Structure 1
Amino acid sequence: MSLTSLELQLQTLPESPGVYQYYDKDGKILYVGKAKNLKKRVASYFTKTHENAKTSVLVRKIVTIKHIVVANESEAFLLENNLIKKLQPRYNINLKDDKSYPWICIKKEPFSRIFPTRKMIKDGSEYFGPYTNFKIVNTILDLIKELYPLRTCNYDLSPSNIEKGKYKVCLEYHIGNCKGPCEGLETLENYQKQVDAIREILKGNFKESLRDFKTKMKDFAANMQFEEAQKIKEKIESLENYQARSTVFNPKMASVDVFSIVSDETMAYVNFLQVSNGAIIRSHTLEIKKKLDETDEELLELAVVELRERFKLTSKEIILPFPLDFGDKIKVTVPQLGDKKQILDLSERNAKYQRLEQLKQIQIVDPERHTNRIMAQMKKDLRLFVEPRHIECFDNSNIQGTNPVSACVVFKDGKPSKKDYRHFNIKTVEGPNDFASMEEVVYRRYKRMLDENQPLPQLIIIDGGKGQLSSALKSIDDLGLRGKVAIIGIAKRLEELFYPGDSVPLYLDKKSETLKIIQYLRNEAHRFGITHHRDKRSKSALNSSLETIPGIGEKTMQTLIKHFKSVKRLEKATEKEISDVVGVSKAKKISDFYKKDTI
């Protein structure tokens, strides 16, 4: 048997680390991926059954497979990241941001200027950042300006220009914001010491600056220069206040990069915190739109490589929520306790906050996308074969064994469809028997829907535990609907979800959107059922009360029940209000009866 071109390509792949590329029949790039073992990884695409529809479509389009072998997995990470950015394959997630971020530049020149910029020029200057916005940059630069008098002019302060007296001091010198290096009033050595101190502050190291300022303050005080000492003291306070706002963990903590991820069916959010000497000096959250149902591990691997490259990170230790391998040069820590666990938790809170903000915006500007995401999430969380676009929930109301009723509420696309709500009066069950009542109403509901060719729900929820679920299942089996409609039970106390034939309940995250929608359904069914039960009891009490009034027949009773609804409302009604409903003579009998009853 001759091998197809694709089969031949698969068989000849090496069992080495590397990067693979998929192309379609027109030679257009489809996907770029990395692997520890190219042959095993690529073959898995063609041997597995893919639940994700996009992955199945991708596999059907693949005609050509190209690969690049590298020395180790770390090189594969970097190469994959670069190829994705360069080739922009259709089925890869895109980690490229459209916006350019601000940096703080220490210009390579005599008497270095320090200023904000969005452009990095490779002229030997130093760049710190990028920062997420200019507000942070301006806060840092304001602090630096307060601590150190640096020049802000654009003059070329070369030694020859200063010697020639080419420039004159400006207003900044006269108000004390600059020491006049343009006229040689400040030495380059003294100026560069200030730049060195600023460089350490930008790295998150405040120790050296604080020590120098405290030494100067003591020297001024010892020489009776109290005014100068006070100025230095104010600088120390400014620096300590900024440090206190920045330092949230142990100042002895070495420089580390922290990454966390939260995700749903369609999006992932990777938060990154850069920590230096216990101070968070940078924070950024990357939003990633999923393409092929990628796992959190796959997304975080790609994001870590991208963010380290983008922000020029050199930390030898990174903190992650789960173990990943980035080679021998990078230490990966997955903390369980202590300062590192606290900062990882902080990163996760930032990622969750970003996700919530994004979800709120989507809900407002794109409600359809919001609904699609929730339906996809419910399908995954509840282990369903289809999205539960149409859900029905049943609840029995049987207070003290009287007037048993049942309620069915209907949600469509995660929202109540009140026009489809239904009440059921129990017909075949004597006394308070919740199990038999549930069996009856479920049978009646879906027998009618089948008879009328109405579309069935994708999910039925029974308010109750195993017993209620088993009773509902009897009716589902009798109607031949087992396997055609998903059905689960929810127990009130621990929010346990029970599935047919499974004795172990499912517990959802208490904060999950899926559980919140199920709770909403259950509460709505309970409210709807209780309201109907209350009305029925009121009518029953009114009926019993009217039966004891001489001269009041069945027809009059029904008219009064329909109008007044309850005994209490009838008792409080005036004779005139009653006569408007049933006439003067009957109104007098009813009014006299209730007056006598209150004496």
Structure 2
Amino acid sequence: MTERPEPTFDPRALVRSLPQSPGVYRMIDASGTVIYVGKARNLRRRVGSYFTRQAHNAKTQAMLAQVADVQVALTHTEAEALILENNLIKELRPRFNVLLRDDKSYPYIYLSSHQRFPRLAFHRGSRKGPGRYFGPFPSASAVRETLNHLQKVFPVRQCRDSFFENRSRPCLQYQIERCTAPCVGYISEADYARDVRHVEMFLDGDSNRVIDELVERMEAAAAALKFEEAAGLRDRIAALRRIQERQYVAGARGDVDVIACVVRESMACVQVFVIRNGTNLGNRTYFPKAPPETNSDEILYAFIAGHYLGGNAPPELIVSDDMTDREVLEEALGGDAGHRVRIRSRVRGERRRWLELAMSNAEHALSARMSTQASMDRRFEDLQERLELEAMPERMECFDISHTQGEATVASCVVFNREGPLKSDYRRFNIEGIEAGDDYAAMRQALERRYLRVKKGEAPVPDLLLIDGGRGQLAQAEAVLGELQLTDELTIAAISKGPRRRPGEEVLHIAGREDEYRLPPDAPGLHLLQQIRDEAHRFAITGHRGRRGRRRQRSSLEEIPGLGPKRRQALLKQFGGLQGVQRAGVEDLARVHGINRALAERIYETLNG
């Protein structure tokens, strides 16, 4: 019995069998892998255009050379086809489609308005629970910045319910004036509710009415001679006006997203500015993967479909390129979001200026990525995947401790972002008041000093905190950040060298997880962790050596008989430091108040041998 030959792919016969109705088609290669997914208003006409036309660009020609079969799925309307196409692209990730990172849901600000003393919190995920959700925001950093501003102006609690319900005295947030301590009854329920109402009004875009109410209260307090209360309200009003100056978009009304796309040398960048109630909530940059020779309008179409299908589309999208089938996209987005969605590319006035700004941001971001960011992005992406992080880290901070048998202990904090080391944000901490050689106490002191400033809004919250050490150091970090109520906002990890202390054998411990992580020696994510760990080590050692050297030099003054603390301080101030004292002559030293000639001679002989 002879085997029947495998049927060959006959595109003409396939096209004749297709209906003239909307649907989705999938191009499949010889191995059965889907290599492209597309939607069509008329399946026969659209699929037939691939096999009847001769003129195709290089991308389409390369795809057609691999096609061994085409499968279709019928839909009622073209808008339904668009939604199905988007779902299949996310599921199958065909290599000839424009692919977007399938990020987690957008971040929101959550207000537990159903509680007696509501809390504000960062939220990502389902929004079915009780309370109010404000957003979406373009990034986690935008949410954190807004929460920080709100806490300065309206001290509404941001702590977890378990923390709130078990307090017997005010926490640190009360001491730094970021909370009114409702947990221990330091504020009445009515006054707290008023602050909550102002928060809601501000997040709803009605900050002018909030300012009007605060002005009335300030004037009433001043008339009643309550000047301290009036001064506090004045400071709140000033802070609110600064926020308005920073975020207000002149001429913009309602909810608008401004989207610009730039394509260069087979790389694409999409820039999105998010405007809600006339307030600029920030921008976010995306780098979709697209086959060569893909036009910017195709990328925009795919981006908008993948990005907004799911209920997040605002009523208006301003885009840099006009797109074919724009009406279909509007219909699909409107049906999904439950309101009409308009997509506009021809705009004037203030909207035009914002589109130009988005274009310039996209150009800059693409240039930076093409020149320096390719390897760094791979490292961040690999780290996110291997550590199973919710979102890619945008800012990482790493701490290390350096000392010599407990002498001159120095802690370092180095900062990396997506562009690499951010040296302007590096910090050192001289550790005092601990037992010599107690690395745990040193780490705790450094973390408290650093993240108290972060909590006060003097530095941004990182996405990933890395500690050079093991589970012990990790426990110190968890304790400090738990007290400051920052554990929900960042991931804490500790990196320690393996048993043989060789590079590539590092062990990772992550807060809240029992398992250890050992990344392959060639993993780009491990290389990133090694780089930031080594940089923290270098920065700590440099600071320690400098401090140790200064301390040992300073001890020579302390050993001189008759030269007490006040005279030493007078000498150092007069000559600008120890080096100036060393260069001074006997007569110069004797001119300092409290230093006679005999003591000046002793100082000179001690320092100059």
Q: Shorter-chain TM-score: what band?
A: 0.5 to 0.7
Q: Using the alignment, how far apart are the partners of 1:208 and 1:128 within structure 2?
A: 18
Helix, strand or coil: the match of 1:291? coil
For 2:352, the aligned partner's letter is: K
**Residue in 2 that maps onto 1:250:** 251
Relative to structure 1, the CA distance from residue 127 to residue 305 in structure 2 (aligned partners, 3 Å threshold; closer, same or farther) is farther
Relative to structure 1, the CA distance from residue 128 to residue 287 in structure 2 (aligned partners, 3 Å threshold; closer, same or farther) is farther
Q: CA deviation at 1:318?
A: 1.4
For 2:353, the aligned partner's letter is: Q
Q: Deviations over 1:415-470 (max 9, x none)?
A: xxxxxxxxxxxxxxxxxxxxxxxxxxxxxxxxxxxxxxxxxxxxxxxxxxxxxxxx
**Residue in 2 that maps onto 1:234:** 235
For 2:229, the aligned partner's letter is: E
Bigger shift: residues 53-62 or 105-114: 105-114
**Residues 98 and 302 in structure 2, CA contact (< 8 A), matched pair in contact too:** no
Helix, strand or coil: the match of 1:219? helix
**Residue in 2 that maps onto 1:262:** 262
Relative to structure 1, the CA distance from residue 46 to residue 243 in structure 2 (aligned partners, 3 Å threshold; closer, same or farther) is same
Q: Using the alignment, how far apart are the partners of 1:224 and 1:201 within structure 2?
A: 28
Q: CA deviation at 1:265?
A: 3.8
Relative to structure 1, the CA distance from residue 7 to residue 195 in structure 2 (aligned partners, 3 Å threshold; closer, same or farther) is farther
Instruction: Identify which of 131, 137, 145 aligns with 1:139.
Output: 145
**Residue in 2 that maps onto 1:350:** 361
**Residue in 1 that maps onto 2:295:** 295
Q: CA deviation at 1:102?
A: 5.5
Instruction: Identify which of 27, 32, 57 aligns with 1:27.
Output: 32
Q: How many correspondences in the alignment?
A: 357
For 1:361, the aligned partner's letter is: T
**Residues 203 and 281 in structure 1, CA contact (< 8 A), matched pair in contact too:** no
Q: Deviations over 1:278-319 (max 9, x none)?
A: 321131121123215322222111111222247x53421211
For 2:21, the aligned partner's letter is: S
**1:103-122 matched pairs, under 5 angstroms:** 103-107=108-112, 110=115, 111-116=117-122
For 1:44, the aligned partner's letter is: S
**Residues 91 and 292 in structure 1, CA contact (< 8 A), matched pair in contact too:** no
For 2:319, the aligned partner's letter is: L
Instruction: Identify which of 81, 105, 108 aligns with 2:86.
Output: 81
- The CA RMSD over aligned residues, in Å, is 3.4
Helix, strand or coil: the match of 2:287? strand
Instruction: Identify which of 327, 344, 356 aligns with 2:330.
Output: 327
Structure 1: which 5+ residue stretches go unaligned? 367-599
**Residue in 2 that maps onto 1:215:** 216
**Residues 138 and 281 in structure 2, CA contact (< 8 A), matched pair in contact too:** no
Q: Using the alignment, how far apart are the partners of 1:59 and 1:155 within structure 2?
A: 58
Relative to structure 1, the CA distance from residue 244 to residue 87 in structure 2 (aligned partners, 3 Å threshold; closer, same or farther) is same
Helix, strand or coil: the match of 2:288? strand
Q: CA deviation at 1:31?
A: 0.9
Q: Using the alignment, how far apart are the partners of 1:35 and 1:353 within structure 2?
A: 35
Q: CA deviation at 1:86?
A: 1.0
Q: Deviations over 1:193-232 (max 9, x none)?
A: 4334324434554233223222322322333323212211
Q: Using the alignment, how far apart are the partners of 1:337 and 1:130 within structure 2?
A: 26
Q: Which structure has the larger Rg over C-alpha atoms?
A: 1
Q: Using the alignment, how far apart are the partners of 1:200 and 1:45 within structure 2?
A: 55
For 1:139, the aligned partner's letter is: E
Q: Using the alignment, how far apart are the partners of 1:29 and 1:293 within structure 2?
A: 20
**Residues 120 and 127 in structure 1, CA contact (< 8 A), matched pair in contact too:** no
Q: CA deviation at 1:106?
A: 3.0
Instruction: Identify which of 329, 334, 337 aligns with 2:348.
Output: 337
Q: Does 1 or 2 have the higher relative contact order (CA < 8 Å, sep 6+)?
A: 2
Helix, strand or coil: the match of 1:289? coil
Q: Using the alignment, how far apart are the partners of 1:168 and 1:362 within structure 2?
A: 50
**Residue in 2 that maps onto 1:316:** 315
Q: CA deviation at 1:351?
A: 1.0
**Residues 96 and 290 in structure 2, CA contact (< 8 A), matched pair in contact too:** no
TM-score where L is the length of structure 2 = 0.52
**Residue in 2 that maps onto 1:305:** 305
Q: Using the alignment, how far apart are the partners of 1:138 and 1:336 within structure 2?
A: 32
Q: CA deviation at 1:244?
A: 0.6
Relative to structure 1, the CA distance from residue 276 to residue 102 in structure 2 (aligned partners, 3 Å threshold; closer, same or farther) is closer
For 1:279, the aligned partner's letter is: T
Q: CA deviation at 1:15?
A: 2.5
Q: Using the alignment, how far apart are the partners of 1:192 and 1:184 within structure 2?
A: 13
**1:152-191 matched pairs, under 5 angstroms:** 152-155=158-161, 167-171=167-171, 172-173=173-174, 176-184=177-185, 186=187, 190-191=191-192
Q: Using the alignment, how far apart are the partners of 1:213 and 1:129 within structure 2?
A: 25
Q: Using the alignment, how far apart are the partners of 2:21 and 2:282 within structure 1?
A: 37
Q: Deviations over 1:497-528 (max 9, x none)?
A: xxxxxxxxxxxxxxxxxxxxxxxxxxxxxxxx
